[in-house]
């Protein structure tokens, strides 16, 4: 657990920030694209869509920006420091353009949507700005720039889900992949910029989701993570008020979608992110309990342990409601791992209110948490309505306090696993040693073990013999290839 980046719906891997999308399948293109991605998993998943759209136009992805005709940065706006990081990078490309005036530099994603033409006019940092719903227009936008214009498309859509675009996979392990099941967010949490940068919530056709899962499985993938800002409000053929849109067709909610994907193959693991405490139904939990291949891990952001803060955050639940959801998880899926997101120092937060976050953490004992200090974002409800009045020093001290507590809880959680045997899906060679392999157990914890003759994509049973703060260490105890994923 880090005070790291994490956006909207999914954890952000700090080591992946600024990672370059490189795709073998695009080799041989006559134009060269350098695509760097920041922020959450949804952005990385979008970069796969962008690469797919541009590869059809003859673009080949390259690993060095110095080789590129077009440089695109897929960006994040969730906290101010995420934007600062991208700005620094953009200034470097602006300098590069002095020597290579034909280089096209573009900004995609949340910063593009938030700052729109400002990036072109006031800051003069880039040639092209494309918001998250405008990627189909990228070939046209690039041509405009090549014709000497600046190009912008930041139109948000109520329909775009890129359902028909088969993303070229960026996660090169060939074992785990992300499937975006919805876009946007209608929740309007008062601190959050996502509803402004990613627009209205819309769900993707379930058949296209199942089809994508099948194709991944046929290509050797063994784990899919279904992505959405609030997966529990996934709905197909149903309005937000529950009205059926087309009586002749079935409706699908998230619990039903989970079952549909779980049925693709018994040895295809399913994960999902992010759940919302106000919308997570027992039906979803029962679906998880029913299928061995749905991983027993839920990311359930709490944000604060104090009901008044939660109200100001416009989260739509109280502390009691949240705790009731935690109880439901334990009751329906015993042993399920739970992680969360927490914000310290939101507008007006008192010491007592902060202490309620601490007491909630002690009650729940999360296996993992992403923790942040509050960063005011332009246009949000909180920016307009409340004063950002907790001094930075206090925000930081509170953050340190919860990070330390969480470290204890994570270490305890890992120690409880000693001696247990887990099914692990092998993702590849361990980062630290070529003699070891690594993969996750159902709880999403990384497990490292000696290589033997095992291959990535295989399931093995690993007995845990030791642990570090974030990783379990063990050895394979069963020689047979295991076909279930519990």
Compose the 77-96 pattern: x for residues touching ligand 5AD by CB under 6 A, - for all others: -xx-----------------
| Residue 349 CB contacts under 8 Å (≥ 6 apart), including other chains | 304, 306, 309, 390, 398
Task: Please pick, from the candidates 185, 302, 405, 448, the single residue that binds ligand SF4 as defined by CB under 6 A.
Answer: 185
Task: Establish if 369 lies at the interface with ligand 5AD (CB under 6 A).
Answer: no
Exactly one of 319, 377, 409, 440 binds ligand 5AD (CB under 6 A); that residue is 377
CA 87/CA 115 separation, integer angstroms = 12
Piece of 4-12, 232-240, 323-331, 435-443 that binds ligand 5AD (CB under 6 A): 4-12
Q: Rule CB under 6 A: is residue 271 a binding residue for ligand 5AD?
A: no
Q: Where are the beta strands (DSSP E) in 93-221?
A: 104-108, 128-130, 151-153, 176-180, 182-183, 202-203
Rounded to whole angstroms, the Cα distance separating 122 from 145 reads: 18
Counting residues that bind ligand SF4 (by CB under 6 A) gives: 11
Number of residues lying near ligand 5AD (CB under 6 A): 15
Contact string 366-405 vs ligand SF4 (x = CB under 6 A): ----------------------------------------
C-alpha to C-alpha distance for 201 and 161, rounded to whole angstroms: 10
d(CA 437, CA 439): 7
Q: Give Cα separations from 102 to 71, 151, 409 (angstroms).
A: 11, 15, 53
322 binds ligand 5AD (CB under 6 A): no
The residue to which tokens 């040693």 are assigned: 433
Report the site for ligand SF4 in 2-31 (rule: CB under 6 A): 8
The binder of 254, among ligand 5AD, ligand SF4, none, by C-beta within 5 to 8 A per type, is none
Distance of CA 461 to the CA centre of its chain: 27
Window contacting ligand 5AD (CB under 6 A); options: 20-28, 155-163, 209-217, 368-376: 368-376
Closest C-alpha among 414, 456, 463 to residue 438: 456
Element (H, E) at 44: helix 41-55
Report, in this order, helix, strand and coil percent for the chain, each rounded to 5.
35, 25, 40
Q: Is residue 194 a contact point for ligand SF4 (CB under 6 A)?
A: yes
- Residue 293 Cβ vs ligand SF4, minimum distance, rounded to whole Å: 27
Residue 341 CB, shortest distance to ligand SF4, in Å, is: 8
Site for ligand 5AD in 90-129 (CB under 6 A): none
Q: Which is nearer to ligand 5AD, 146 or 341 (CB)?
A: 341
Residue in 273, 275, 303, 353 binding ligand 5AD, rule: CB under 6 A = 303
Residue 168, φ and ψ in degrees, nearest 5: -85, 130
Under a CB-based contact definition with an 8 Å cutoff, are residues 298 and 336 in contact?
A: yes
Interface residue list for ligand 5AD (CB under 6 A):
6-8, 78-79, 191-192, 301, 303, 341, 343, 372, 374-375, 377
Interface residues with ligand SF4 (CB under 6 A)?
A: 8, 185, 187-189, 192, 194-195, 229-230, 276
């Amino acid at each position: 657990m880090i005070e790291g980046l994490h956006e909207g719906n999914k954890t952000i891997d700090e080591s992946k920030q600024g990672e370059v999308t490189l795709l073998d399948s695009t080799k041989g293109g006559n134009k060269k694209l350098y695509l760097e991605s920041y922020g959450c998993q949804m952005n990385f998943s979008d970069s796969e869509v962008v690469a797919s759209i541009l590869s059809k136009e003859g673009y080949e992805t390259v690993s060095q920006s110095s080789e590129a005709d077009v440089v695109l940065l897929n960006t994040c706006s969730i906290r101010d420091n995420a934007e600062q990081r991208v700005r620094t990078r953009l200034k470097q490309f602006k300098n590069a353009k002095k020597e290579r005036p034909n280089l096209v530099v573009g900004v995609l994603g949340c910063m593009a949507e938030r700052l729109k033409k400002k990036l072109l006019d006031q800051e003069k940092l880039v040639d092209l700005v494309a918001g998250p719903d405008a990627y189909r227009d990228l070939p046209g936008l690039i041509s405009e720039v090549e014709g000497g214009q600046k190009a912008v498309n930041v139109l948000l859509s109520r329909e775009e889900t890129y359902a028909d675009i088969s993303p070229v996979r960026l996660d090169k392990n060939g074992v785990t992949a992300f499937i975006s099941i919805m876009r946007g967010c209608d929740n309007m949490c008062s601190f959050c910029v996502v509803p402004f940068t990613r627009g209205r919530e819309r769900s993707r056709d379930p058949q296209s989701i199942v089809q994508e899962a099948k194709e991944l499985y046929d290509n050797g993938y063994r784990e899919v993570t279904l992505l959405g800002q609030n997966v529990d409000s996934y709905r197909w053929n149903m309005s937000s008020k529950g009205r059926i849109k087309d009586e002749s067709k079935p409706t699908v909610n998230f619990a039903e979608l989970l079952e549909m994907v779980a049925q693709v193959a018994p040895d295809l693991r399913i994960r999902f992110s992010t759940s919302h405490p106000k919308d997570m139904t027992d039906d979803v939990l029962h679906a998880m309990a029913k299928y061995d291949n749905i991983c027993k891990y839920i990311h359930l952001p709490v944000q604060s342990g104090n009901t008044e803060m939660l109200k100001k955050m416009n989260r739509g639940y109280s502390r009691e409601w949240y705790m009731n959801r935690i109880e439901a998880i334990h009751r329906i899926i015993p042993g399920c791992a739970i992680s969360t997101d927490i914000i310290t120092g939101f507008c007006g937060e008192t010491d007592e209110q902060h202490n309620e976050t601490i007491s909630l953490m002690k009650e729940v004992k999360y296996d993992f948490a992403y923790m942040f200090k509050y960063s005011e974002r332009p246009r949000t409800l909180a920016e307009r309505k409340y004063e950002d009045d907790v001094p930075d020093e206090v925000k930081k001290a509170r953050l340190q306090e919860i990070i330390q507590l969480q470290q204890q809880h994570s270490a305890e959680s890992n120690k409880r696993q000693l001696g247990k045997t887990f099914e692990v899906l092998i993702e590849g060679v361990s980062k630290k040693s070529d003699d070891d392999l690594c993969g996750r157990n159902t709880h999403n914890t990384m497990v490292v073990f000696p290589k033997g003759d095992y291959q990535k994509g295989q399931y093995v049973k690993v007995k845990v013999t030791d642990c570090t703060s974030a990783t379990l260490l063990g050895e394979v105890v069963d020689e047979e290839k295991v076909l279930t994923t519990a």
